[in-house]
Amino acid sequence: MCRQKGTKPFYSEDVFGPDLNDEATSGQVSQERCPMTTPIIVGNWKMNGLSADSADRVKALLAALASQPVAGTEIVICPPFTQLALLAPQLKGSPVALGAQNCHMDEKGAHTGDIAPGMLTDLGVTHVILGHSERRRDHGEVDETVREKAVAAAKAGLTPIVCIGETEDQRQSGEAQDTIGWQIKGSLPDGFTGVVAYEPVWAIGTGLAATPEDIQTTVAFIRAELVRQFGESGKTLRILYGGSVDAGNAASILAIPEVAGALVGGASLKPDAFLSIIRAVPAH
Ligand code: 13P
């Protein structure tokens, strides 16, 4: 398995058995770069950010990372479309990658107000959030739309971060796992190599994150579904948690072995809080 020495696995050997390709069993240490196993912290700024405050926020983040670097964690910020071109030069050559919050599934054409994946890579964007519950809610995006976007994004060279998660009603009526199972089946295309973000809708922006126990249970379910759908490659797809992650709860969430990182909303707008979350990634 492509895994840096000492890096915790993002799947449970208790559930799926030992990794037969592991360095320990194969006796080989892979030198190949393996982005699939790198922890990742993503800041979703949502519809927040004008030129001045966005530049200041990034400046503060980069200054802190320069004075106290963080190794081995992928850091991504996803500002609104309007800030991408402005922030790209600031982030170039820095440890922080640039992501977008959505893209269209077509390469170009008559889609007023939409942004094609190639327009994002043209600016230096490397990641894109797809199927966020706020887009499913506000723009009627369904699993099929999300899947088509994921295909288009990957084709353009972007890393899709596909969001799934149940609403409060679905949770209350015991349909959480069914909902998530259908979202995985419907939203992730064949050969998917992106990132899956589990964001329970009821935890987003409420200050009420899911408990580590609940996250662990749901993420184990997601892992099992990914393995069922994708076989071997489903074992290493990164699964993030999102929903009221903050400086206070990040360590307990990121300590869950199957959780590869976090998708952070409100706290990503505050450089100090976002940095605390980045620094809460367990040593690996
Ligand atoms: P909050 O961190 O503000 O709850 O938002 C989570 C989210 O939706 C990230 O995509």
Domain range list for the chain: 34-65+73-279
DSSP 73-128: -EEEEE--HHHHHHHHHHHTTSSEEEEES---SSSSSS-TT---HHHHHTTT--EE
Is residue 46 helix, strand or coil? coil
**CA of 207, closest atom in ligand 1:** 4
Interval between CA 32 and ligand 1 midpoint (Å):
33
Backbone dihedral angles phi then psi of residue 145, each to the nearest 5 degrees = -60, -45
22 has pLDDT over 60: no
Q: Is the CB of 162 under 6 A from ligand 1?
A: no
pLDDT (0 to 100) of residue 37: 81
Stronger pLDDT, 29 or 140, i.e. the higher one: 140
Q: Chain-wide mean pLDDT for the chain?
A: 90
**CA of 206, closest atom in ligand 1:** 4
Stronger pLDDT, 165 or 9, i.e. the higher one: 165
Q: Is the CB of 79 under 6 A from ligand 1?
A: no
Residue type, 138: D
Q: Are 95 and 69 in contact (CB under 8 A)?
A: yes
pLDDT (0 to 100) of residue 246: 98
pLDDT (0 to 100) of residue 283: 84
Q: For residue 245, which of 194, 211, 219, 195 has the smallest C-alpha distance?
A: 211
At the second CATH level, the architecture of 34-65+73-279 is: Alpha-Beta Barrel (3.20)
> What is this structure's pTM?
0.89
Q: Is the CB of 249 under 6 A from ligand 1?
A: no
